[in-house]
Structure 1
Amino acid sequence: MRFAVIDLGTNTFHLLIAESTAKGFNILYKTNVPVKLGEGRINDNIIIPAAFERGINTLKDFSSIIEKHNVDKVKATATSAIRSAENGKDFVSKAKEIANIDIEIITGDKEAGLIYKGVKLSGAIQNTSLIMDIGGGSIEFILCDTEKLIWKKSYNIGAARLMQQYFKSDPISDDEKNLILAKVQNQLIDLFEICELHQPKMLIGSAGAFETFAELIIRKNNHSEDITTVKTYEFNFDEYIETTIKLINSTHDDRAAMPGMIPLRIDMCVVAALLANYIMGRLKINQLTLSNYDLKMGVLASLL
Structure 2
Amino acid sequence: MSDFLIDEELLAAIDMGSNSFHLAIARVDHGEVKKVASMSEKVQLAAGLDENKNLTEAAQQRGLACLARFVGRLGSVQPNRLRIVATNALRQAKNGHEFIQKAAEILPKPIEIIAGREEARLIYLGVSHTLANSGRRLVIDIGGGSTELIIGEEFEPIHTESLQMGCVAYSKAFFPNGEISQKDFDKAVVAARKELSGIANTYREAGWDTVVGSSGTIKACRQMTINMGWSDDKENLTREGLDKLKEKLLKFKHVSEVDFDGLKDDRRWVLPAGLAILYAIFEVFEIDKLVYSDGALREGVMYDLLGRFQHEDVRDRSVQALMGRYGADLKQARRVDDVAQQLFSNVAEQFNFNTEDSDLLRRAAYLHEIGLAISHGGYHRHGAYLLQHSDIPGFSQIDQIHLSHLVGHHRRKLRTDDKVDVIRAGSRKLMNLCLILRLAICLNHSRSDAMLPAIELNALDAQQWQLSVSGDAKQWPLLVADLHDEQIQFKHWDIDLNIQSEQFIS
**TM category, shorter:** 0.7 to 0.9
- Give the match's secondary structure for 1:13: strand
Shift of 1:93: 1.1
Residue matched to 1:253: 256
Quick check: which has more Rg, 1 or 2?
2
Distance 1:203 1:19 in 2: 29
RMSD: 2.4
Displacement of 1:233 after TM fit? 5.9
Whole-angstrom distance in 1 between the partners of 2:109 and 2:246: 38
The Cα shift of 1:70 comes to 4.2
2:197 pairs, out of 183, 189, 196, with 189
- Cα offset, 1:30, TM superposition: 0.4
- CA, structure 1 residues 160+170, in 2 after alignment: closer, same or farther (shift >3 Å)? closer
**Residue type at the aligned position of 2:255:** H
Cα distance in structure 1, aligned partners of 2:33 and 2:298: 14
Find the residue that maps to 1:31 and give its secondary structure.
strand
Match of 2:68 in 1: 60
Going from structure 1 to structure 2, the CA distance change for 1:28 and 1:209 (only over 3 Å counts) comes to same
Q: Which whole-Å CA distance do the structure 2 matches of 1:146 and 1:70 have between them?
A: 29
Report the counterpart of residue 106 of structure 1 in structure 2: 114
Q: Quote how far apart the aligned CAs of 1:234 are.
A: 2.7
Contact kept in structure 1, 2:87 and 2:115, CA below 8 Å: yes
Tell me: CA distance 1:96–1:61, structure 2 relative to 1, closer, same or farther (3 Å).
same
Whether the 8 Å contact between 1:200 and 1:285 is mirrored in structure 2 is no
1:17-60 CA distances to partner (integer Å, 9 max, x unpaired)? 11112252332210101111112436642211111001111111
Residue type matched to 1:295 in 2?
Answer: L
Q: 1:163 aligns to what?
A: 171
1:129-148 residue pairs with structure 2 within 5 A? 129-146=137-154, 148=156
Question: Which of 203, 220, 225 is residue 212 of structure 1 equivalent to?
Answer: 220
Normalised TM-score (structure 1): 0.87
- 5+ residue gaps, structure 1, are 224-231
| Whole-angstrom CA distance in 2 between matches of 1:64 and 1:198 | 45
Distance (whole Å) between structure 2 residues aligned to residue 205 and residue 234 of structure 1: 10
Aligned pairs, number: 293
Q: Does the 8 A contact of 2:246 with 2:275 survive in 1?
A: yes
- Using structure 2 for the length normalisation, give the TM-score: 0.54
C-alpha deviation, 1:146, in angstroms: 4.3
Structural mapping, 1:31-46, within 5 Å: 31-41=39-49, 44-46=52-54
Q: How does 1:1-304 map to 2 (within 5 A)?
A: 1-41=9-49, 44-67=52-75, 69-71=76-78, 73-123=81-131, 126-146=134-154, 148-168=156-176, 171-221=179-229, 234-250=236-252, 251-255=254-258, 257-304=259-306
2:240 maps to a residue whose letter is D
For 2:193 and 2:226, the matched residues in 1 are separated by 31
For the Cα contact (< 8 Å) 1:4–1:16, is it kept in 2? yes
Is the contact between residue 119 and residue 206 of structure 1 (CA under 8 Å) also seen in structure 2? yes
8 Å contact 1:213–1:244 — kept in the other structure?
Answer: no
Secondary structure, counterpart of 1:66 in structure 2: coil
**Where does residue 414 of structure 2 map in the other structure?**
none
Shift in Å, 1:103: 0.5
**Residue 138 of structure 1: how far off its partner (Å):** 0.9
- 1:285 Cα offset (Å): 1.5
For the Cα contact (< 8 Å) 2:139–2:149, is it kept in 1? yes
Is the Cα–Cα contact under 8 Å of residues 193 and 284 in structure 2 kept in the other structure? no
Q: Does the 8 Å contact 1:3/1:19 carry over to 2?
A: yes
Query: Are the equivalent residues in 2 in contact too, given 1:171–1:248 (CA < 8 A)?
Result: no
Report if the CA contact (8 A) 1:202-1:285 is conserved.
no
Higher strand share: 1
What CA distance in whole angstroms lies between the structure 2 residues aligned with 1:103 and 1:31? 18
